[in-house]
Structure formats: C-alpha cells, structure tokens
Amino acid sequence: MNLATGGRELVGSKDIDDLCAGGAVDLTVDLKNAPQMLNINVDVTVTITCNGLTAKIRPSLQIWYRPKGTRRWLDAGWMQDGKITIYGLYTATNYDIKVDFEGITYTGEYRTGDATSLIINETLPSSYCP
C-alpha cells in the first residue's frame, strides 16, 4: 500500500501480505519530505493598445485547476477584478489552469515554487483590436 499527497509525492508505504486477513494496518508516514501546501495570491493585469489608446483590463472570471496529469478539474473560485487566492496548492508541482471566456476555453500550465504570490502582466498584440 502506498500513500501519496495530492501532488503525487510518496509519503508512506507498507507491504500487506494478506488482504483478506482484516484488522488494522500501521503505516508510517514521513511528512518531512512531503511538499508543503501554499495559498497563492494571483494578480492579473492585461494591457492592450489600440489606435494610440492603452487600456488595462482586470479580468473577472471563473478559474479551474488540476494537478498535471490528472483528469478532474478543481474549482479555484471566481477571479474578481484580476485578483484571486487559490488555496491548497503543493510546492514544486505542475498544474493545468483553465478559464472559459465568451465560449472559448483557454488553458495554461503553472509550476508552483515557494512564492505565495503570482503577478501576471500580459500585453495583447494589436491584432486583438477591433
């Protein structure tokens, strides 16, 4: 039997000889090697310049995430005015991030480090101008 974190880091293992024997199984868990969980404060600003005018956009939309290689999307919550805190991410773990905007799904990848904040300043090319 293996015990792993949500980020798939092995923190404990035990050989079981007879699955039908019943009773309790003691499992030693090594938490000193388990990755720490983080709450990441995200701040997003999107800038676009059209016809000499510059606009800064602070998006409000639903954010979804999942550990890389898993299938189930987890609800990170609603980003309001470009800000959201995503709770319970593991350090040194790759995540897929997903948003839906005007019927189009956008995905990206993010790898956590030790930082508890992520500032994204994105500039859109003029091809996005009307």
- 2-42, pLDDT tens digit by residue? 666 655 666 666 566 666 766 666 666 666 666 678 888 99
Dig out the tokens for 53 from the structure.
Answer: 């005018």
- Alpha carbons within 13 angstroms on the beta-carbon side of residue 13 total 3
Dig out the tokens for 99 from the structure.
Answer: 């948003």
Cα–Cα dist 48/55, whole Å = 5
Give the pLDDT confidence score for residue 6 in this predicted structure.
57
Query: Whole-prediction pTM value?
Result: 0.66
